[in-house]
Amino acid sequence: MSSPLLEIKGLKKYFLRQQAFWQKWTGKKEYIYAVDGVSFSVNKGETVGLVGESGCGKSTLGRTILRLYEPTAGEIYFDGEKINDLRGDELLQLRRRMQIIFQDPFASLNPRQTVEKIIGLPLKIQGMKGRELSERIDELLEQVGLARVHRKRFPHQFSGGQRQRVGIARALAVNPSFVVADEPVSALDVSIQAQIINLLQELQEKMGLTYLFIAHDLSVVSYVSDRIVVMYLGQVMEMGPAEEIFSSPQHPYTKALLSSIPRIGKKNPSTGRIILEGSVPSPLNPPAGCKFNTRCFIKNKPAACFHEPPPLIEGAPGHYAACHLLG
């Protein structure tokens, strides 16, 4: 088994809630527990899928890993080095090695800049200029399936899929080894989603990339992931090899996510369709005990579900779940 490129231990990111002026008088601070103690690793060349409903902290986790947000607690190791405290030049060097592809290519590309400016910016920051810069831009455009003629165009002159190709070219410009793909296809038509996923996979093979691939449902990550991490309200509920998550999900939340995928020709391992009631509780005031307890459909739950957070237990090699019912 290859060594981890990324390892996080007990990673937390809390946001201080913006308060109205009268609330500030009371002096009481409120926190949004967006990521609340997450540990896992991503091996070199691997794709780890990170899934969970909207608002469960996936983007916050991805951005904290990349040091775009300062972690509240916990440790981040990249290629064996602790990166929590990197600053200045060292942080700039790290940015070359870790990049992000954003969910909404339209919102993440500057509408007033041409494609060559957008893709060229990270290269310029790293000191590239002149002919070398120009040739690198052409090379990147070709790698993502665009052409030289696209250099002078603005983001609004592209289709959604092409815009995401520009976003991918920008992320890959500095030759990173690790890429957080934050819902890279959610904003695209289904027919285009497959093209972009194929492109990401081709690039992974060619460039030896390692991906953390974020999605809000399991169907997208099923195509790409070697392992899957299932998140709920800032915590990991289950993680393990992708095929095991699909064939023998352990956590009730994973079972519910799986049962919501329409499947053709395959027997659904969960018994029937599970409809989760309500929505994810607010991360301002998460439930005590297991964070999933307010929506868990298991009848006659033990008292521990309401008082004690369940630990992540390795039930099969490399397959972990956090649920009191798994003994």
Ligand X SMILES: Nc1ncnc2c1ncn2[C@@H]1O[C@H](COP(=O)(O)OP(=O)(O)OP(=O)(O)O)[C@@H](O)[C@H]1O
How many residues are present in the chain?
327
DSSP structural state of residue 259: H
Binders of ligand X among residues 54 to 113 (CB under 6 A) are 54-60
Of 101, 103, 98, nearest in space to 78 by CA = 98
Closest CA to 84 of 7, 32, 4: 7
Nearer to ligand X, 67 or 150 (CB): 67
Site for Mg ion in 118-147 (CB under 5 A): none
Q: Should residue 216 be labelled a site residue for ligand X when binding is judged by CB under 6 A?
A: yes
Which tokens is 283 given? 């991360």
Does residue number 293 form part of the binding site for Mg ion (CB under 5 A)?
no
- Tokens representing 131? 């002919």
Give the tokens for residue 74.
């916990």
Binding to Mg ion, residues 43-62 (CB under 5 A): 59
Tokens linked to 276: 């989760």
> Closest CB to Mg ion among 50 and 290?
50
Least Å from the CB of residue 142 to ligand X:
31
| Contact of residue 216 among ligand X, Mg ion, none (CB under 5-8 Å per partner type) | ligand X
Among 6, 8, 32, 118, binds ligand X (CB under 6 A): 32
Per DSSP, 265 falls in state S
C-alpha to C-alpha distance for 89 and 108, rounded to whole angstroms: 25
In the complex with ligand X, the residue whose CB is nearer, 19 or 175, is 19
For residue 312, which of 241, 232, 235, 258 has the smallest C-alpha distance? Answer: 235
Q: Which stretch binds ligand X (CB under 6 A): 52-60, 145-153, 271-279, 305-313?
A: 52-60
Told to check if 306 binds ligand X by CB under 6 A, we report no
Taking CB under 6 A as the binding criterion, the range among 53-61, 113-121, 173-181, 317-325 that sits at the site for ligand X is: 53-61
* 64 makes contact with Mg ion (CB under 5 A): no
66, 68, 71: which is closest to 14 by C-alpha? 71
Distance CA 10, CA 278 (A): 28
Show the binding pattern over residues 277-296: x = contacts ligand X (CB under 6 A), - = does not. Answer: ------x-------------
* Residue 179 Cβ vs Mg ion, minimum distance, rounded to whole Å: 16
- Angle at 106 (CA atoms; ends 124, 17), nearest 5 degrees: 90
Nearer to Mg ion, 138 or 217 (CB): 217
- Per the listing, tokens 């983001």 go with 155
Answer whether 227's CB lies under 8 Å from 239's CB. yes
Task: Kindly determine how many residues on this chain lie close enough to bind ligand X according to the rule CB under 6 A.
Answer: 13
In angstroms, give the least distance from the CB of 114 to ligand X: 28
Q: Does 19 bind ligand X (CB under 6 A)?
A: no
* CA 312 – CA 254 distance, rounded (Å): 14
Q: Give the binding site for ligand X (CB under 6 A).
A: 15, 32, 34, 52, 54-60, 216, 283
Q: Give the binding site for Mg ion (CB under 5 A).
A: 59
